[in-house]
Chains A and B, each alone.
Chain A
Amino acid sequence: MEHIISVLVENKFGVLARVAGLFSARGYNIESLSVAPTLDPTTSMITIVTVGDDRIIEQIMKQLNKVVEVLKVVDLTETHFLDRETALIKVHTKPEHRDEAIRIADIFRAKIVDSSSTTYTVEITGDVDKVEALINLLKPLGIKELIRTGRIAISRETTRTASPRREPALLKS
C-alpha cells in the first residue's frame, strides 16, 4: 500500500543523502520525494511517498527515526491529510489545438503560465488524481516536457470548528 511519510530533519549537510541512502540500501521504494525548509530555518521537511506492506512501512518509520538528524517521522496515511502536487506541462499547440488546450486547462482550473507560438505551459496544482487526469487529457495534443514536484502533504486539523478569527487569540495563550 502507498504511504506518505513526512520526515522533519535538521537542515544539515548530508542529511538527505542519509535518508535516501537508507531507502536504497534496504531496498525500499521511493515513489516521490520533496524537500524544503520549514518555518524554522534549522529544519527541513522531507515528504516521501513509498509503497510497502505493514512490516516494511514499520521498518521504514523506525529506520528513519534512527537517523541522528531526523527529528520527527509521521506516516500521514494513518491520519486525515491533504496532499498536493504541482506539475508544469509544456504542450505542443498546433494552431487548431490552441483553443482546446485552453479549454482543458480551464476545466481543471489550471493556469497557462507561459506561451509561445507553438507551445503553452500549463501549471496545475492538485491531488494526484487531478494532476494525472489533466496530463492524460493533454497527451493527445502532444506533451513536449513535463515536470512534477512530487507530492507534499499536511495533516488536517481534527478540530476544525474554531473560527479563523479566534485563532490569533488562541495562539497568544
Chain B
Amino acid sequence: MKKTGAEIFCESLRHEGVKTVFGLPGGVVLKIFDVLCQQKDIQFILTRHEQGAAHMAEGYAKATGKAGVALVTSGPGMTNIVTGLADAYMDSVPLVAFTGQVSTDLIGNDAFQEADNVGISRPCTKHNVLVKDVNDLAQTIKEAFYIATSGRPGPVLVDIPKDVSIAKADFKYPDKVSLRGYNPTIGGNKYQIKQAAEEIMRAKKPIIYVGGGAIFSDAADELRELAEITQIPVTMTLMGLGSFPGSHPLSLGMLGMHGAYWTNMAMHHCDLLIAVGARFDDRVTGKLSEFCPEARVVHIDIDPTSIKKTFHAHIPIVGDVKTVLREMNVILRSMDGNPAEMKALKAPWMKQIDDWKKAHPLSYKQDDKVVKPQFVVEKLYELTKHEAIVATDVGQHQMFAAQYFKGNRPRTWLTSGGLGTMGFGFPAAIGAQVAFPDRLVLCITSEGSFQMNLQELVVAAEHKLPVKIVLLNNGVHGMVRQWQDLFYEGRYSASLLGKLPDFVKLADAYGILGLRAEKPGEVESVLKEGLKHKGPVLMDIHTDPFENCYPMIPAGGAQHEMMLEDPPELKLARKGGPHKRKVDEGEGVLPA
C-alpha cells in the first residue's frame, strides 16, 4: 500500500527508534505534524523557539548517545535552528534536523517563507539533502541517521518540500545503507598502534589528553584500562570531561585556558602526549609554537582532518577511539611490565605533578558577605554526591562548573565547547531530562546566558521536567567583564546588565518554583530545598560580580604562562585606585 511522505517520515523515525522529536510547526510541515500527532509512540515536545528545539535535541543526544531529532518549518523555522546546527557541528553532536520547504514547483521563486535551507546549513552540517522525490524519502532518512551517528558524529539536515510530504510512494524501510563516498575508518593501523604502545612503555613523563571523541565512541572503560595499566595521568578537554572519573587519582582534571595549574604545567613538560579523540583546539593549546615543546605526540582520532590540522603528530592513528584503545591495551598487556613497575617508572613524574598541585591548587577566597560562584558549585557537588547530569551555558559559570563539579561518568556533562553558545544550557538540560526523567539534571547557568532561551521554562513546567536551574546571577556578562578588567583597563562596555528581571517572579509566572539566595549563609539551604523539590526549580543565587576565573592563559599566551589571581593593578583598582593595567589581549602575558 502506498503511503504519503508524512507517513513515510513517521514510519522511518519509528524504524530508527526515535522516541522524541523537538520542534515547532508551520505552514509547509502541517501535513507531517498532522500525521505525527497520531503516532502514539513518538513524543513531540513543542518548544517555544526553534533554537530551543535544536539545543534540546543536542542535550538529548549528548546524554543518550543517540541522534537527537528536531522538526521545524521552512524559512524562519529553519534559520532559527542554525545556531544549534553550528553548535552540533563544532561539538560533533549527532543531530538529525528536518526542515520544511516550499513545494518543489515554488523553489527558487522567493515563495512565502522560502529560504535556501540546504545552502544556509551547508557550512554547519556534516551532510544535508533536499528531498525532491517522495520515493527517495525513506532512503534519505536512513542515510541521515547513519551519517549523523557514525564516524565523527555531527548534524545532518533533511529538507522536505511540502508536496513531497503529501505525495505517495511505496514504503519499504531500507535495512542497509551503502554510500560510495562515506566509509569512516574504524580500526586503526596496527603497525602505528604497536609503535604507540612501545613509546608508551618507554615514556617517563607521559600524559593522556582526552577530548569529546572518547565519549562519542563510548571508550570510558578502555580509557580507564589504558591509564591504569600504564599508570599515566589523564587530562580532559572541556568536551572530554566525564570520559575519565574526575575523582580518580590519575585524573588531572581539565586543561587549557582555564585548566588547573598542575595540569597545564604537566602538559608543558610531558615527554609523550597521547591525544585521544581531541583536536588541539586553540583554547587548549594556547600559543602553538610553545605547546608541549618536549613531547612526542600520538594522536588517535576518527576524523583524519583533526590530525595534523594545527599541531604535529609523530604517530597519527586514524580510527575509532574505543577500537584503537582496546587493541592498544591488548598489546600493552602482552608487553613486559606491570602496573607496579609502571608506577615506579612514573613515580618522579607523578611527584612533580603533585608538587605543582600543592603549590597552586584550585582556590578562591571565601567571603562572608558576597557569594562566591565557586562555593555554590562546590556545594552542589557535595550535596548531589557528584551524581547528576550537568548542563551549562557559556561564561565564567561554565568554567567554574568544569573546575569544581568533577564528573565521574561520560554523558553527564553537557556544555557548548566549540561554538561557545550562550543559551545552550537550559534547553540542553531539558533535552537530557526528557531522555532520563528520573535522573537529577542540573543546569548551571548565569543571567546573561539564561535570558537567551528562558522561553523554554514553559516546556519544563508543562511536561513536569524537574530540571534544577542554578542561576549564578552576578548581574554581569562575567567572562566579558573579566577580559575588560584584564585587557581593556576596566572599561565595562556592554557587560554590565543593568536591568534584570526578578527571576523568582519569573519562575512563578511560568508556574515553577523560584528560590533566592543573596548571602553566603543562605546558599546551602536554598540548594537543599531546590534539590529536594519534585518539579522544576529556578534558584536565583546572587554572586560576586567581580570574581574572576583563574587560572587563565590569556588568549595567545603559552600554556605554562598562567595568571593565577588578579594582577596587582586590578587589585588596586578594586580598592578604588586607578585601573592602569593595559595589556593587549593575547600579547601581554604575566609569568606564572
Q: Are B182 and A68 in contact (CB under 8 A)?
A: yes
B126 to chain A, nearest CB (A): 8
Residues of A within 8 A of B532 (CB): none
Residues of A within 8 A of B132 (CB): 13
A126-167 residues with Cβ-Cβ distance < 8 A to B are: none
Asked if A2 is at the interface (CB within 8 A of a chain B CB), the reply is no
Binary contact track A66-91/B, C-beta < 8 Å → 1, others 0? 11111100000000000000000000
> What residue of chain B has the Cβ atom nearest to residue A60's Cβ?
B305
Q: Are A67 and B181 in contact (CB under 8 A)?
A: yes
Report the stretch among B115-123, B368-376, B434-442 that lies at the interface.
B115-123
Question: What band does the interface of chain A fall in when counting residues whose beta carbon is under 8 Å from B?
Answer: 20 to 34
Docked complex Cα distance between A82 and B179 (Å): 31
Q: Are A68 and B179 in contact (CB under 8 A)?
A: yes
Asked if B571 is at the interface (CB within 8 A of a chain A CB), the reply is no
Cross-chain contact of B147 among A25, A59, A68, A70 (Cβ < 8 A): A68
Asked if A14 is at the interface (CB within 8 A of a chain B CB), the reply is yes
Docked complex Cα distance between A63 and B180 (Å): 16
B518 to chain A, nearest CB (A): 47
Asked if B32 is at the interface (CB within 8 A of a chain A CB), the reply is no
Docked complex Cα distance between A17 and B127 (Å): 12
Asked if B303 is at the interface (CB within 8 A of a chain A CB), the reply is yes
Residues of A within 8 A of B303 (CB): 66
Docked complex Cα distance between A55 and B126 (Å): 23
Docked complex Cα distance between A73 and B223 (Å): 34
Asked if B308 is at the interface (CB within 8 A of a chain A CB), the reply is yes
A67 to chain B, nearest CB (A): 7
A7 to chain B, nearest CB (A): 10
Docked complex Cα distance between A66 and B182 (Å): 8
Docked complex Cα distance between A71 and B181 (Å): 4
Docked complex Cα distance between A70 and B179 (Å): 10
- Beyond A17-B119, A69-B181, A71-B180, whether A63 also contacts B127 by CB under 8 A is no
Asked if A98 is at the interface (CB within 8 A of a chain B CB), the reply is no
Asked if B2 is at the interface (CB within 8 A of a chain A CB), the reply is no
Residues of A within 8 A of B305 (CB): 59, 62-63, 66
B345-381 residues with Cβ-Cβ distance < 8 A to A are: none
> What residue of chain B has the Cβ atom nearest to residue A63's Cβ?
B305
B252 to chain A, nearest CB (A): 30
B452 to chain A, nearest CB (A): 25
> What residue of chain A has the Cβ atom nearest to residue B309's Cβ?
A59
Docked complex Cα distance between A58 and B306 (Å): 11
A16 to chain B, nearest CB (A): 11
> What residue of chain B has the Cβ atom nearest to residue A24's Cβ?
B123
Docked complex Cα distance between A59 and B279 (Å): 14
Docked complex Cα distance between A63 and B118 (Å): 19
Docked complex Cα distance between A169 and B584 (Å): 72
Residues of B within 8 A of A71 (CB): 180-181
Docked complex Cα distance between A69 and B180 (Å): 8
Asked if A125 is at the interface (CB within 8 A of a chain B CB), the reply is no
Residues of A within 8 A of B490 (CB): none
> What residue of chain A has the Cβ atom nearest to residue B318's Cβ?
A62
B177 to chain A, nearest CB (A): 11
Asked if B295 is at the interface (CB within 8 A of a chain A CB), the reply is no
B276-317 residues with Cβ-Cβ distance < 8 A to A are: 303-305, 308-309
Q: Are B180 and A21 in contact (CB under 8 A)?
A: no
Q: Are A68 and B181 in contact (CB under 8 A)?
A: yes
A166 to chain B, nearest CB (A): 32
Asked if B130 is at the interface (CB within 8 A of a chain A CB), the reply is yes
Asked if A50 is at the interface (CB within 8 A of a chain B CB), the reply is no
Q: Are B122 and A17 in contact (CB under 8 A)?
A: yes
Binary contact track B107-144/A, C-beta < 8 Å → 1, others 0? 00000000000110011001110101000000000000
Residues of A within 8 A of B118 (CB): 14
Q: Which 3 A-B residue pairs are closest in the complex by CB-CB distance?
A: A62-B305, A71-B181, A68-B182
| B residues with CB within 8 A of A | 118-119, 122-123, 126-128, 130, 132, 147, 179-182, 303-305, 308-309
Q: List 22 A–B pairs whose Cβ atoms lie within 8 Å, in order of A's numbering.
A: A9-B181, A10-B180, A10-B181, A13-B130, A13-B132, A14-B128, A21-B122, A25-B123, A58-B308, A59-B305, A62-B304, A63-B305, A66-B303, A67-B181, A68-B126, A68-B127, A68-B147, A68-B179, A68-B181, A69-B181, A70-B181, A71-B181
| A residues with CB within 8 A of B | 9-10, 13-14, 17-18, 21, 25, 55, 58-59, 62-63, 65-71
Given contacts A63-B305, A66-B304, 7 further A-B contacts (CB under 8 A): A21-B122, A25-B123, A59-B308, A59-B309, A66-B303, A68-B127, A70-B181
